[in-house]
């Protein structure tokens, strides 16, 4: 049983040097003049000449419709152009934060709040004059300072007593776990390791009495990830789960329950939602699979048929009354994945953010002509948007995952507890305002079993009552745009947004609104240089754009080529491999780093084009830290400060 609360490290860009002071304005001048002015209107000005009792110079302490009714007889020769998908609606995002102060004003009697929150954003940030912060059901507004356009101030409700208790709890846990280092990721790469620090409670109490601004370095609110168990809370591949006889099914030996909560049949049945849409789940599934038999067109680009879907999947699938027998579905569960790290900011924009995604990953089983089974290089990922909004609700949902860490894998209690989580996003009508009432965001596939080269596809529900529709793969242009002037123009025109991870690749781009996004995303080579590049662009912009694409993330931008040569998943384009019934899936080094699923770390990856810089990737380590930070603190105290600095991961994978 684990002790104490759970902790996390935020993925943002406000890096704090070791030994930074927590300062009040007045110690050699104030870094945020607008904030000081607002505070001093109540508290009076502080200066370096003030007596020591008037200055809070706190040095942080450091302990050790119906589905498409196709004609199967001519489906392999048909040519279709899929219906246009709706425009991508991204959650708003705050710019990176350079500095953050909170000024206690508990005696002012201001109905707008008891504290002044002052946020200084990074250079080059573009933002409206007012910033709404929705803390559960109450909205606070930060307004631009008249003298400093990057400084925003506003009154908020802040629980200082709870804040002090959270600092004390945090210090106790760090002492118990002997954690000394705070680790910061920028997007997917590890960028710094800093010492943990603490706010001195006496100094904070003095700040409350004097209404003096308190600087909040990230080193005083970031948390050690050790209490988050990746094997039970982030990436669940244990055989006791993926081979659960009541919740999963395996066509090889007809083992399990076809109607189990985590079976392909159940997920597709819930997604089809026949009582609402009138769509027969068997027809829904076959219409989706038949898209590989068709020559499709997406955004003017051809998506050629891969007709081996017939002999490898459809032809050997038993039927009842001419329709696929979903009780005999050839899809084997590989993993259940918590992607709360993909959440939007839980307090910014007035919408309450979102709680990220929940994912179930399957491998397609090859039913051999001799009656046996083998693996197939074909994976399918169901990626659900978790239909939960608001700071407290998101943290409550995340706590359900964390609670799994106190239940043994393989015990009678673990799988029911996990199902109670997954039911929230997999069940029919989980998201009533989305097509079919399904919470599914997208279904993605990654395969070269049907043809070469490796191909990634993406499918959405785009109509209230319609099929899973082939759409453009997120953030990924057509391969003919690689190393082109058009791509260079896009990257250079969106440099700041790419660096801040706020960009959304459009369907078309200049010149002349030329088609840009594709519906057939190829991985052509395992070599490092086989990544996205463009002439005369910044290398960091190039790297982040490439890593954000489907094939860049599954290819040379993140692959562990040569580190070491024996690594099992080096020559695969999947991060979670297909598996035999008695084996767990192998995970990529991009996920594990040089560690393991139980103890993920990072691994060094040289830039695939220039060799430098060397970046350190370890995505499960990043997620582990993110989860710990999310779960620890109250939305009325430390979590509000964390949320302001939180940078959503705007990447598809």
DSSP state letters, 77-107: G-EEEPPPPPPP-PPP-PPPEEEEEEEE-TT
The tens digit of pLDDT for each residue in 427-442 reads 999 999 999 999 999 9
pLDDT digits (tens, 9 = 90+) for 183-232: 788 889 988 887 778 888 999 999 999 999 999 988 888 777 777 999 99
pLDDT-derived band at 50 (thresholds 50, 70, 90) equals very low
pLDDT at 171: 83
Is the per-residue pLDDT at 139 higher than 50?
yes
Is residue 63 scored above 90 in pLDDT?
Answer: no
Q: Note whether 341 and 649 are within 8 A (CB).
A: yes
Contact by Cβ (8 Å): 634, 221: no
What's the confidence (pLDDT) of residue 185?
A: 87
Mean pLDDT of 520-531: 86
pLDDT of 65-86, one tens digit each? 333 333 333 344 344 444 455 5
Nearest C-alpha neighbor of 381 from the set 344, 410, 323, 339: 339
φ/ψ of residue 135, rounded to 5: -100, 95
DSSP string, 31-66: S-HHHHHHHHHHH----TTS-GGG--EEEPB----P
More confident position, 382 or 650: 382
| 26 against 109, higher pLDDT | 109
| Confidence band of 90 (pLDDT split at 50, 70, 90) | low
- By mean pLDDT, which of 51-60, 294-303, 605-614 is the weakest? 51-60
Distances (CA, A) of 35 to 29, 44, 155, 219, 408: 12, 13, 11, 21, 49
Which of 339, 373, 387 has its CA nearest to residue 359?
339
| DSSP three-state, residue 384 | strand
Cα separation, 395 vs 400, whole angstroms:
9
Which stretches does DSSP call E strand in 265-322? 295-298, 301-303, 319-320
Quick count: other Cβ atoms within 10 Å of Cβ 513?
Answer: 10
SS3 of 566-587: the string is: CCCCCCCCCCECCCCCCCCCCE
Question: What is the percent of the chain with per-residue pLDDT over 90, rounded to a whole number?
Answer: 63
Contacts of 627 (CB under 8 A, 6+ apart): 6, 8, 225, 228, 233, 234, 338, 340, 341, 398, 401, 402
Pairing of strands 189-195, 468-471: unpaired
pLDDT digits (tens, 9 = 90+) for 142-188: 999 999 999 999 999 999 999 999 988 888 877 887 777 777 888 89
Could you tell me what percentage of the chain is helix, strand and coil, using 3-state DSSP and rounding each to the nearest 5? 30, 25, 50
Provide the token pair at 510. Answer: 């200049």
309 phi and psi angles, rounded to 5 deg: -60, -30
pLDDT in tens, 446-491: 999 999 999 999 999 999 999 999 999 999 999 999 999 999 999 9
Mean pLDDT, to the nearest integer, of 266-282? 98
User: 563-602: buried (b, 16+ CB within 10 Å) or exposed (e) per residue?
Assistant: eeeebebbebbbbbbbbebeebbbbbbbbbbbbebeebeb
Distances (CA, A) of 455 to 316, 364, 452, 458: 23, 15, 8, 10
In the predicted model, what is the mean pLDDT of the chain?
A: 83
Lowest mean pLDDT among 131-135, 144-148, 268-272, 287-291: 131-135
- Locate the DSSP E strands across 172-268: 181-186, 189-195, 214-215, 235-236, 249-250, 255-256
């Amino acid at each position: 049983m684990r002790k104490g609360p759970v902790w996390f490290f935020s993925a943002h860009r406000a890096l704090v040097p070791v030994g930074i002071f927590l300062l009040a304005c007045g110690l050699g001048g104030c870094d945020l003049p607008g904030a000081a002015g607002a505070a001093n209107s109540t508290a009076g000005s502080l200066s370096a000449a003030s007596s020591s009792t008037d200055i809070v110079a706190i040095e942080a302490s450091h302990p050790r419709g119906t589905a498409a009714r196709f004609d199967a007889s001519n489906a392999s020769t048909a040519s279709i152009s899929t219906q246009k998908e709706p425009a991508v609606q991204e959650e708003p995002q705050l710019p990176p934060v350079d500095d953050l102060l909170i000024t206690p004003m508990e005696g002012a009697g201001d109905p707008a709040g008891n504290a002044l929150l002052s946020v200084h954003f990074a250079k080059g940030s573009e933002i409206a004059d007012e910033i709404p912060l929705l803390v559960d059901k109450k909205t606070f507004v930060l307004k631009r300072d008249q003298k400093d356009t990057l400084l925003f101030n506003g009154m908020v409700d802040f629980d200082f007593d709870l804040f002090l208790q959270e600092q004390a709890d945090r210090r106790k846990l760090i002492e118990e776990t002997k954690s000394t280092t705070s680790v910061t990721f920028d997007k997917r790469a590890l960028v710094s390791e800093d010492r943990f620090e603490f706010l001195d409670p006496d100094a904070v109490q003095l700040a409350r009495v004097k209404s003096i601004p308190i600087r909040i370095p990230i080193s005083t609110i970031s948390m050690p990830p050790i209490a988050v168990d990746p094997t039970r809370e982030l990436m669940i591949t244990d055989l006791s789960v993926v081979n659960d006889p009541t919740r999963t099914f395996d066509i090889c030996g007809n083992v399990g329950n076809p109607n189990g909560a985590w079976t392909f049949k159940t997920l597709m049945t819930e997604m089809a939602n026949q009582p609402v849409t009138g769509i027969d789940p068997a027809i829904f599934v076959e219409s989706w699979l038949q898209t590989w038999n068709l020559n499709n067109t997406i955004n003017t680009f051809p998506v050629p048929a891969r007709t081996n879907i017939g002999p490898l999947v459809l032809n050997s699938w038993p039927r009842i009354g001419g329709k696929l027998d979903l009780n005999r579905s050839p899809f084997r569960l590989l993993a259940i994945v918590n992607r709360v790290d993909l959440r939007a900011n839980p307090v910014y924009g007035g919408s309450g953010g979102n709680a990220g995604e929940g994912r179930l990953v399957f491998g397609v089983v090859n039913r051999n002509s001799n009656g046996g089974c083998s693996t197939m290089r074909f994976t399918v990922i169901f990626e659900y948007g978790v239909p939960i909004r608001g700071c407290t609700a998101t943290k409550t949902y995340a706590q359900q995952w964390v609670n799994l860490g106190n239940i043994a894998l393989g015990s009678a209690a673990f799988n029911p507890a996990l199902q109670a989580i997954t039911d929230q996003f997999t069940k029919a009508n989980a998201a009533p305002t989305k097509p079919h009432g399904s919470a599914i965001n997208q279904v993605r596939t990654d395969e070269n079993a049907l043809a070469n080269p490796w191909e990634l596809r993406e499918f959405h529900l785009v109509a209230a009552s319609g099929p899973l529709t082939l759409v453009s793969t997120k953030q990924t242009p057509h391969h003919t745009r690689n190393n082109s002037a058009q791509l260079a123009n896009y990257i250079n025109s969106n440099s700041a947004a790419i660096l801040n991870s706020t960009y959304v690749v459009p369907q078309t781009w200049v010149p002349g609104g030329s088609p840009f996004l594709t519906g057939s995303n190829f991985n052509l080579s395992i070599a490092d240089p086989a990544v996205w590049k463009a002439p005369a662009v910044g290398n960091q912009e190039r790297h982040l754009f490439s890593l954000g694409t489907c094939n860049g993330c599954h290819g040379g931008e993140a692959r562990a080529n040569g580190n070491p040569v024996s690594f099992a998943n080096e020559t695969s384009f999947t991060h979670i491999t297909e598996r035999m019934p008695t084996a767990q899936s192998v995970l990529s080094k991009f996920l594990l780093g040089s560690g393991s699923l139980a103890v993920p770390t990072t691994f060094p990856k040289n830039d695939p084009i220039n060799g430098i810089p060397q970046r350190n990737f370890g995505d499960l380590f990043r997620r582990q830290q993110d989860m710990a930070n999310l779960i620890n603190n109250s939305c009325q105290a430390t979590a509000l400060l964390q949320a302001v600095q939180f940078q959503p991961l705007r990447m598809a994978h």
